[in-house]
Amino acid sequence: MTKEDAKKRAIFLKNLRAQHEETVERTQTLLKEQKAIRRQICQPMRDGPKTIPELAQITGLPGNEILWHITAMKKYDLIVEAGMCAEYYLYQRPEGVK
Amino acid sequence: MMANRMDPNLLIDLKRYGEKGAVNIEACFNCGNCTAVCPLTSDDHPFPRNTIRLMQLGLKDQILQSSDPWLCYYCGECTETCPRGAEPAEAQMALRRWLTAQYDWTGLARKFYTSEVWEIGSIILVGVLIALAFIFFHGPIVTDQVELNTFAPVDVIHIGDWIMALLLLFFLLTNALRMHNFIMRRGTKTKIPLAAYASELWSLPYHFATQKRWATCEERPSWISHLLLVSGYVLMLVIIVFFLPWFQTDNVYPLYHPQRWLGYYATIVLLYGAGRAIWGRLEKARQMHRFSHASDWMFPILLFTVTLTGILVHIFRYAGLPMATYVTYVVHLALLVPMLVLEVPFGKWSHLAYRPLAIYFEAVKVKAREMEQAELAPATV
Amino acid sequence: MTQENLHVDTLVVGGGIAGMQSALDLADQGFRVALVEKEASIGGKMIALSKVFPTLDCCSCITTPKMSAVAHHENIDLLTYCEIGAIHENGGGFVADVTKKPRYVNEADCTGCRQCEYACPIDLPNAFDMDLGAMRAIRVPFSTAVPQKAVLDIENCILCGKCEQTCPVNCIDFTQQPEQFQIEADAIVLATGFGLTPTDAKKEYGAGQLLNVVDALTVERLLAPTGPYGHVLRPSDGKEPDSIAYVQCAGSRDTTLGVEYCSRVCCMYAIKQAMLLSGALPLADITIYYMDIRTFGKGYEQFYQNARAMGIEFVKGKVARITEDDDKNPVVRVELIDEGSQIVERAHDMIVLSVGMVPGYNPQAIYGVPIDASDGFIEIPSPNIAPTVTNHEGIFATGTAVSPMDIVDSIVMAGAAAAETAAYLQSRNGHSYKLPISGSMEMEVAHV
Amino acid sequence: METKPKILILATLSGGYAGADSVGQLHANYPSNAYILPVVCPSMFSESFYLRAFERGIDGILLMYSGTDCPFKGGAERTAQIVNKTFPLMKEKGIDPRRLRLVAICTVCTKPFLKEVNQMNDLLRGIGPVKMEMAHAVIGD
Amino acid sequence: MSEKEEPRVGVYTCHCGGNISDVVRCERVMTALKKLDNVVVSRTDMSMCSDAGQAMVEADIAEYGLNRIVIGACSPSLHEQTFRGTVARAGLNPYLYHHVGIREQNSWVHKDDREGATQKAIRLMAAGIAKARLLDPLEPIRLSAKRHALIIGGGIAGLRAAWDIARRGIQVTLIEKSPFLGGHMAQLESVFPTGEAARGTLHDLIDKVTGHPNVTIHTRAELVGMSGYVGDYQATIRQQSRGIKEGFTGIDKLIENCPLEVPDEFNYGLTKRKAIYTAYPGCYPPTPAVDWENCNKCGDCLKSLNGERGLISLENEPHDFDLTVGAVVVATGFRLYEPAQGEYGYGEFPEVITLAQLIRLLALNGEKELVWNGRTVHNLAFIHCVGSRQIDGINEPQPDGQVNNYCSRVCCTATLHAANELRERFPAINLYDFYEDIRTYGRGHEEYYTEASKNMVRFLRFHDDELPRVTPDPYANGTGALLVTAKDYLTWGQEIDAPVDLVVLATGVMPNPIDDIIKLLKVSPGTDRFLLEVHPKLRPVETAVPGVVLAGTAQGPMNIQESCAAASAAAAKVAVLLGQGRVELEPFVAHVDPDRCDGTGECVTVCAYEDAIILAGVNGATKAVVTPANCAGCGSCVSACPNQAIDLQGWSLSQYEAMLDAIASDSLPVVA
């Protein structure tokens, strides 16, 4: 991509964002929240694999919400399963993902 | 197991005890929702589906032996959630009327419930008789000032009260005895020792006074207003039957005097309770008020008008209007007497007696079973 | 690429199993068909299911060949992500105004490689997985989607441009606008499908607020090999459930919900799911609370008896209430009708509401096809003899747009709609289908 | 050159091959020494076909058929019969019968697919090349 | 395949915009493949499926005279068809194209092993080339199809199928075993869920069908012979004489004069009819028929004739005729379960009848009160699931040793429909209903249940292991009234007695006994004895025999609506098959090399498809001969042949062996 093209593209995207201001803003807030929650969820996994109730206890977040984020991250290989503890699966970060 | 023979005609008869279209239990497909949703149901008494089922099949003996309809307070939860609109709560109501008629050996209850002409006619008849009695037998009419006790000598009225009370008690007790026979003799195989009756006797006045079971239902305000109504009613009954000379007097007591404030309390809660019942039935907002049988109207209307005329007598007396006082007094009694002699043993009022009786009988049965088991227990160990 | 106006013999509305089958049966007879689907992929509700009764076939294995056949059929114009705004009559035929919603992806170029999806930073609840799992703001709808093309959700996009940068064939196009075009057709087949009876309407069942009370379509996703968790877990905390209960007629045969009819499929799908669950969770107890078990179809009764033999517990009694204990275990209150009418409260790890079917779409606004006031499904004036013929000449209806029915019945009825439509088209002048020359069989006058 | 075992996967179009497509959609990982060929129905292969494959140096064969979903009358049963008859012949030649495996894979059976491939790969790494095995058997005779 | 032209292969490796090339080193693949025998052109492209990619292939075919094309790209399910089209446009036979999946099966699943993925791509492509060398041009199998369908059965399903097929310009011959059309529907009065008059609706359809120029109807006709294959079946039909010529007018007199009286099957034996009869007034055809089984040829009927004797013949002279048809619709319908002697008192007490009998009784009965056996019926009980949902060990098995363990689907709503009619016509009657589960599943069916409840039908629920009992009522004082006793689970398992005057058994549905048709058509029944479809969802109205489709209750219990839907669906399949006048089938079928075949017949033994392979004399020797129309292309025969004389076109064993060798080969040009 030439510099000029890049510039054009930047202007185009800017205009587009202005057009969709409301949805973009809302989604950006959502994204920020998601990131914060996921940091909270992933932090305890550094000490080893965790179950949802364990994560819920540590983070104070509701179990269903944690499960959703774990499911989302698992779908794109950002979290993997690491066996089971009683009736619960254990989750951890895969090797190479911080 | 003894087979039970179905009687298809019983349901047709039962339907006569409900407002037209209100008893809709033929629509019931026995899903069990009503029983499971009922806050008052128990392992021993899973209702209302069981009574509905008996009604559907026409198993008359089993219905007569059951006290379950009396354990229901018509909170309407079952009707509200019934997937088929079968009106289970209203079926219980109708069944209570039918049972009242079955307990009553005179056959009057049945006439009252199934015929509006009979019910209204008898009330008018008794009321007219009372009025006629006054027309022919009243005391001297003092017109320059209010002298009610001269117009209607209190001791004569009091004797009348006693006669009325005894009559009413006689019918009520004999009917209650029949109820006992159905539920306690035919309805149970365990032999019931007298000790069981004695040990549970406390529950009878307790439940009569508190209607505690009703409070288990979610509709607490109904229970409270009904409780107030009962308290006013009982209070008034006690006053006029036992203490009429103290109550019906030409003396004007000061406001702090118990005669005044007891009277005021009773009349206010009676007016409020009866008025609320009438208003509820007009409004039809709550489940229990959606259908109103003639008998449902008759009792609160009589109660309301009796109270109202009572208050008017009081006011006219204070205002010093002799003729108005006397006439209103006659009207008051012409309403009061039929209410008591007809409604109490044969009509809607009787549930006030049958409900605590049913609870009492069931408690006795449980006690008897416990006693029986206690006897058996050491032997088997 | 702009969508050109089309002239076809039949417009099929809805790309679920009924619509697909009708389209195929018509196209195979030589008629031109336009199949319009509002979602980004065809497949309807069926493609989301795990396995199907009574054969327990893998559902995808039955649906995908039909989806692929539709996509590749030379007589079918497949139009996904399109909505029909209005239908006018036009000289005995119909003209449909169609809006093609922008995918923001150039459909012709997209290879379905999903690189954009991996690059996208936004995770959204995945409706295909009943919101249990996640999907990106740009994605291929699901693994077996047809067409296998990405679609961008502009409402939930921050326009970061990452997808655009990643796409190997430069097919992301933020400038796309809705496109209007028209389809001229001589006949219409409505296959608009069904929706689920609402569960939040029933306050006795928690009004949709209890986390471990789910509907049956959610369990389909839990059981599907491509499901969100990859296991059967309950939504509140990811526990593998030991005890699962089904509440039948949770949205049907109930006047308080305004749905008085039987939804026809719930008994069988509950039994099927119970069987699959006991396969996935061999130690779990599975209970089905029911009013009547309606396993009426071919092989269905045997299926039910097998489930009983497998140890699945069938309890006669309508669940009156579902509450929650401290561990978020849902608790049912029910009368055990077959066991002496006891009232019990039983806690389960998870409860499945066997919700029923309501019409998925009311076609009245744009088509003028009457619906039945009592159930909301399309009115069929002569359901016995002509089960797919509506009140409107030239418009036919099939599948669950007509009434609740299972997949087998939908497919058969779709064939019936195709036969009816084909005969209608042939009876009209000027249809594009050329009547083949009559065979050598002499025309015989009917005789006995 | 590294000697990875060669796995041949014969996958039915209506089942296993579509399943392999689904695995691809997931971008999952499995060993690259697994070669997938589509087949209509594996009932067309006789015992000798499999033996020939082992002789040519295929270390393991996974037959991913459609099981009870087989669209052909008797196809699944006949395939199973042939495979059962192949095992003793393999033993005769000194070939570990575990090198041939018949599994039912559906169009979205991604997990079983991966499990089978990985298991076969692990097995073959453990027991070594088929050619060595056959050579040993000849010597052993 | 000796005189095959020298293969000139063009091979293309697709980058798929990086989807493949990010992992697989496509240029290396291209270079490696160039070195293989017969490869004339090897190229890569960013996107083979693009117009440019396809144009490149077309140009190469023209320029280099390529006669085999191999493309490695995404899964064949996505683009194999696309490239077949490309090749065809360039004038090559489309089956000379081979597609290799190297995206879903390679680059996407070996992301962290680029070297392995590249080598795998080379091997898979090499295998593809090996197969391509052996590809033969193929043509779809085209069979001319007789645009004529045979429908067996003149009930609602057969009629509905006839109407749909005829309207598509296809000839229809409908044969009906009995002398009259209409089947069971004619015996109904009103039908759920509409309440419409059954015979009114039926006759509308009969009028349409019989009035359609494409339809020929033969009553009293049965299928007795069948040969051929899809598109070209030869059917032999045997028709019994009617005994009376069409257009005869003195019908009433004729019937009157017949002295014989036999139970009238139309009324399920409730009434009698003569040995010359019509099914019902207004039936089609209106001409009466002689009941050959019962007629004793007394000749009394002839006495009413005045010199018109030629119009009647009391000799049954069945005649056979042949018909060539392209497809067959089996609409042979159902029969009702006949309760065993003593089952719920059936055959033991005259007050126990079937639902079908009740429906006829209601049609025959007066308006005021329901009368049975001369007595007014005040109380009536229905019992459900008689002959349905049976359980081994509890229910008496059928003569064939089986029990009907299926649900008959129609009886619940039909029973409630009858109950509601009873209540409406005889308001004082008491109705009881003994059931296991009420299955009013269809649109408008639950309403019948609700209505019946409102009509005060008392429902009692029994369990399948404790069936209700029917006994004489001890209190009935010899009036013949009965007592139905059941352990009622709605009344917490109490035994309940229903005193009744009439017990009505809701009998289930069974397939008509059509063993001969099953044998002739080579279709197969399922374990429930109903005819089996190929697959309930993929091909729900087709049988495993090509060109033989199912309509209505021959396949399983159905109501009228479902029968009509199934019949129309079957008609759609017939229209697909025969509409074009030819049948086109995929060429992937078995093919015999007559030089190798020595007629052992192993292939015939293993083949599961009727008449797909037969042994026949070819030039004086016994050889296997494939009928492509009947071959499903599974290849079972290939593995069975001891001489490798039979192979699958397009998927041949030699092609597989060549592919396998390429994969196994250690000497591939794997360059670094």
CATH code, domain carrying A43: 1.10.10.10
Q: E357 and E438 share a domain? A: yes
Q: In terms of pLDDT, which residue wins out, B319 or E415?
A: E415
pLDDT at C21 over 90: yes
E196 and C388 within 8 Å at the Cβ level: the answer is no
Give the C-alpha separation, D133 to D51, whole Å: 13
Cross-chain CB nearest to D107 (options C60, C114, C230): C60
Q: In chain D, how many domains are there?
A: 1
Q: What is the pLDDT of residue C437?
A: 30
B46 and C335 within 8 Å at the Cβ level: the answer is yes
E636 and D33 within 8 Å at the Cβ level: the answer is no
D111 and C225 within 8 Å at the Cβ level: the answer is yes
The proportion of chain C whose per-residue pLDDT surpasses 90, expressed as a percent, equals 71
Q: Residue E655: inside a domain, yes or no? A: no
Helix axes E653-664, E114-133, angle to 10 degrees: 150
C158 contact residues in A (CB cutoff 8 A): 17, 24, 27-28, 31
Q: E5 and E122 share a domain? A: yes
Q: CB contact, 8 Å: E105 with chain D?
A: yes
CATH architecture of B8-103: Orthogonal Bundle (1.10)
**CA pseudo-torsion sign A80, A84, A87, A88:** negative
Domain spans, chain B: 8-103, 108-368
Q: Residue A54: inside a domain, yes or no? A: yes
Q: What is the pLDDT of residue C431?
A: 42
Q: Residue C107: inside a domain, yes or no? A: no
Cross-chain CB nearest to E491 (options B2, B27, B53): B53
Token pair for residue A20? 């969709």
Q: CB contact, 8 Å: C118 with chain E?
A: no
- Segments forming the whole domain that contains residue A19: 3-92
Q: Residue A53: inside a domain, yes or no? A: yes
C 41-100 residues with CB < 8 A to E: 52, 54-55, 57, 62, 65, 68, 72
Q: What is the pLDDT of residue E496?
A: 95
Q: Residue D52: inside a domain, yes or no? A: yes
Q: In chain A, how many domains are there?
A: 1
Do D68 and D27 form a contact (C-beta atoms < 8 A)?
no
What are the angstrom distances between the C-alpha of E631 and each of B188, E590, E610? 76, 7, 9
Across-strand partners of C395? C188
DSSP E strands: which ranges in C278-329? 285-290, 313-316, 321-324
Give the C-alpha separation, E184 to E438, whole Å: 23
Q: What is the pLDDT of residue E49?
A: 78
E 88-127 residues with CB < 8 A to B: none
Give the C-alpha separation, C306 to E29, whole Å: 54
Report whether the peptide linkage leading into residue E339 is cis, meaning its omega lies within 30 degrees of zero.
no
Q: Residue E245: inside a domain, yes or no? A: no
Closest residue of chain E to D58, computed from CA coordinates: E664
Q: Residue C79: inside a domain, yes or no? A: yes
B41 and C320 within 8 Å at the Cβ level: the answer is no
Do C6 and C77 form a contact (C-beta atoms < 8 A)?
yes
| CA dihedral of E50, E56, E58, E64, whole degrees rounded to 10 | -160
Give the residue from E508, E530, E581 showing the smallest Cα distance to E232.
E581
Residues of C with CB under 8 A from a CB of B: 204, 249, 253-256, 291, 316-321, 333-337, 341-343
Domain boundary among E510, E536, E553: E510
Token pair for residue B37? 């949703």
Do D and E touch, counting CB pairs below 8 Å (3 needed)? Answer: yes
**What are the pLDDT digits (tens) for C226-284?**
789 989 999 999 999 999 999 999 989 999 888 999 999 999 999 999 999 998 899 99
Do E411 and E388 form a contact (C-beta atoms < 8 A)?
yes
Q: E375 and E429 share a domain? A: yes
Spell out, as residue ranges, where chain E has pLDDT lower than 50. 1-2, 671-672
C 189-228 residues with CB < 8 A to E: none
CB pairs under 8 A between B and E: 56
Give the C-alpha separation, D1 to E221, whole Å: 77
Section B140-164 average pLDDT: 85
pLDDT level of residue B161 (50, 70, 90 thresholds): confident
Q: Residue A25: inside a domain, yes or no? A: yes
B6 and E453 within 8 Å at the Cβ level: the answer is no
Q: Residue A50: inside a domain, yes or no? A: yes
Give the C-alpha separation, D32 to E551, whole Å: 50
Q: Residue A97: inside a domain, yes or no? A: no
Q: E346 and E369 share a domain? A: yes
Cross-chain CB nearest to C377 (options E160, E439, E443): E443
Q: Residue C254: inside a domain, yes or no? A: yes
Q: What is the pLDDT of residue E399?
A: 85
D26 and C143 within 8 Å at the Cβ level: the answer is yes
Q: E350 and E495 share a domain? A: yes
Domain boundary among E459, E479, E510: E510
Q: CB contact, 8 Å: C161 with chain A?
A: yes
Q: C202 and C301 share a domain? A: yes
Q: Residue E666: inside a domain, yes or no? A: no
Q: C145 and C246 share a domain? A: no
Interface test with B, best of C262, C293, C318 (most B CBs within 10 A): C318
Q: In terms of pLDDT, which residue wins out, C431 or C134?
A: C134
Q: CB contact, 8 Å: B323 with chain E?
A: no
How far is D139 from chain E, CA to nearest CA, in Å?
A: 23
- Segments forming the whole domain that contains residue D52: 7-140
Q: CB contact, 8 Å: B270 with chain E?
A: no
Do D50 and D139 form a contact (C-beta atoms < 8 A)?
no
What are the angstrom distances between the C-alpha of E471 and each of E338, E364, E434, E503, E616? 20, 27, 15, 11, 65
Q: C352 and C271 share a domain? A: yes
**What are the pLDDT digits (tens) for E641-665?**
998 899 999 999 999 999 999 999 8
* C284-305 burial: b if 16+ Cβ within 10 Å, else e: bbbbbbbbbbbbbbbbbbbbbb
Q: What is the pLDDT of residue E5?
A: 81
C 119-178 residues with CB < 8 A to D: 143-144
D43 and E104 within 8 Å at the Cβ level: the answer is no
Q: E260 and E235 share a domain? A: no
Report whether the peptide linkage leading into residue B140 is cis, meaning its omega lies within 30 degrees of zero.
no
Token pair for residue C381? 């004036």
Cross-chain CB nearest to C256 (options B36, B43, B83): B83
Mean pLDDT of chain C: 90
A27 contact residues in C (CB cutoff 8 A): 122, 137, 156-158
* A30-58 burial: b if 16+ Cβ within 10 Å, else e: ebeebeebbebbbeebeeebbbbbbbbeb
E461 contact residues in B (CB cutoff 8 A): 30
D108 and C224 within 8 Å at the Cβ level: the answer is yes
User: Can you give the CATH number for the domain in which D136 is found?
Assistant: 3.40.50
Token pair for residue E183? 């089947």
Q: Residue E16: inside a domain, yes or no? A: yes
Domain boundary among E471, E491, E510: E510
ipTM for the predicted complex: 0.86
Token pair for residue D9? 């996967």
Interface test with B, best of C197, C315, C343, C346 (most B CBs within 10 A): C343
Token pair for residue E496? 């309940």
Q: Residue D2: inside a domain, yes or no? A: no
pLDDT level of residue C442 (50, 70, 90 thresholds): very low
Q: What is the pLDDT of residue C443?
A: 28
E495 contact residues in B (CB cutoff 8 A): 1-4
Give the C-alpha separation, E572 to E591, whole Å: 31
Q: Are strands C285-290 and C313-316 parallel, antiparallel or unpaired?
A: parallel
D22 and C64 within 8 Å at the Cβ level: the answer is no
Longest CA pairwise span in chain E (Å)? 106
User: Can you give the CATH number for the domain in which E634 is found?
Assistant: 3.30.70.20
3-state secondary structure of D78: helix
Q: Residue E246: inside a domain, yes or no? A: no
- How far is CA C379 from its chain centroid? 20
CA angle, E313 then E316 then E318, to 5°: 130
Q: What is the pLDDT of residue B228?
A: 83
Cross-chain CB nearest to C343 (options B30, B46, B85): B46
**CA pseudo-torsion sign E360, E362, E365, E371:** positive
**What are the pLDDT digits (tens) for C41-90?**
999 999 999 889 987 877 887 888 789 889 888 899 999 999 999 999 98
| CA dihedral of E569, E570, E575, E578, whole degrees rounded to 10 | 160
User: Can you give the CATH number for the domain in which C371 is found?
Assistant: 3.50.50.60
**What are the pLDDT digits (tens) for C111-128?**
888 889 999 999 999 999
Q: In chain C, how many domains are there?
A: 3
Please tell me which chains touch C, using 3 or more CB pairs under 8 Å as the contact test.
Answer: A, B, D, E
Cross-chain CB nearest to E495 (options B3, B8, B28): B3
pLDDT level of residue B322 (50, 70, 90 thresholds): confident
E536 contact residues in C (CB cutoff 8 A): 54-55, 298-299, 408
Q: Are strands E582-585 and E334-336 parallel, antiparallel or unpaired?
A: unpaired
Closest residue of chain D to C224, computed from CA coordinates: D108
Q: C186 and C43 share a domain? A: yes
Q: Residue E668: inside a domain, yes or no? A: no
Residue for token pair 């000839």:
E171
Give the residue from E323, E333, E428 showing the smallest Cα distance to E376.
E428
Do C69 and C25 form a contact (C-beta atoms < 8 A)?
no
C320 and B42 within 8 Å at the Cβ level: the answer is no
Q: In 3-state terms, chain A is what percent helix, strand and coil (to 5)?
A: 65, 10, 20
3-state secondary structure of C368: coil
Between A27-41, A80-94, C103-117, E249-263, the lowest mean confidence (pLDDT) is in: E249-263
Give the C-alpha separation, E49 to B218, whole Å: 70
Q: What string of H, E and C letters represents the secondary structure of chain B?
A: CCCEECCHHHHHHHHCCCCCCCCCHHHCCCCCHHHHHCCCCCCCCCCCHHHHHHHHHCCHHHHHCCCHHHHCCCCCHHHHHCCCCCCHHHHHHHHHHHHHHHHCCCCHHHHHHHCHHHHHHHHHHHHHHHHHHHHHHCCCCCCCCCCHHHHCCHHHHHHHHHHHHHHHHHHHHHHHHHHHHHHHHHCCCCCCCHHHHHHHCCHHHHHHHHCHHHHHCCCHHHHHHHHHHHHHHHHHHHHHHHCHHHHCCCCCCCCCCHHHHHHHHHHHHHHHHHHHHHHHHHHCCCHHHCCCCHHHHHHHHHHHHHHHHHHHHHHHHHHCCHHHHHHHHHHHHHHHHHHHHHHHHHCHHHHHHHHHHHHHHHHHHHHHHHHHHHHHHHHHC
Do E and A touch, counting CB pairs below 8 Å (3 needed)? Answer: no
D108 and C57 within 8 Å at the Cβ level: the answer is no
pLDDT level of residue A51 (50, 70, 90 thresholds): very high
pLDDT at A17 over 70: yes
- Segments forming the whole domain that contains residue E256: 251-311
Q: E418 and E495 share a domain? A: yes
Q: What is the pLDDT of residue E630?
A: 85
How far is C383 from chain E, CA to nearest CA, in Å?
A: 6
Q: CB contact, 8 Å: C211 with chain A?
A: yes
C161 contact residues in A (CB cutoff 8 A): 9, 13
D 4-33 residues with CB < 8 A to C: 14-15, 18, 22, 25-27
Q: C47 and C150 share a domain? A: no
C132 and A71 within 8 Å at the Cβ level: the answer is yes
Give the C-alpha separation, C53 to C264, whole Å: 13
What are the angstrom distances between the C-alpha of B190 and each of B44, B51, B157? 15, 22, 47
Say how many C-beta atoms besides its own lie within 10 A of residue B48's C-beta: 31
Burial class (CB in 10 A: 0-12, 13-18, 19+), E408: buried
Token pair for residue B68? 């379950």
Interface test with D, best of C136, C143, C144, C149 (most D CBs within 10 A): C143
Q: C129 and C72 share a domain? A: no
First vs last Cα of chain E: how many Å apart?
37
B36 and C334 within 8 Å at the Cβ level: the answer is yes
pLDDT at B270 over 50: yes
- How far is CA B152 from its chain centroid? 29
**CA pseudo-torsion sign E21, E22, E27, E29:** negative
- Segments forming the whole domain that contains residue C155: 115-166
Give the C-alpha separation, C261 to E200, whole Å: 28
pLDDT level of residue A97 (50, 70, 90 thresholds): low
DSSP E strands: which ranges in E548-649? 548-550, 582-585, 590-592, 613-618, 621-626, 646-648
Q: CB contact, 8 Å: C164 with chain E?
A: no
CB pairs under 8 A between A and C: 84
Domain boundary among C341, C357, C373: C357
Q: What is the pLDDT of residue B1?
A: 45
Contacts of residue D38, Cβ cutoff 8 Å, sequence gap at least 6: D11, D12, D13, D17, E76, E101
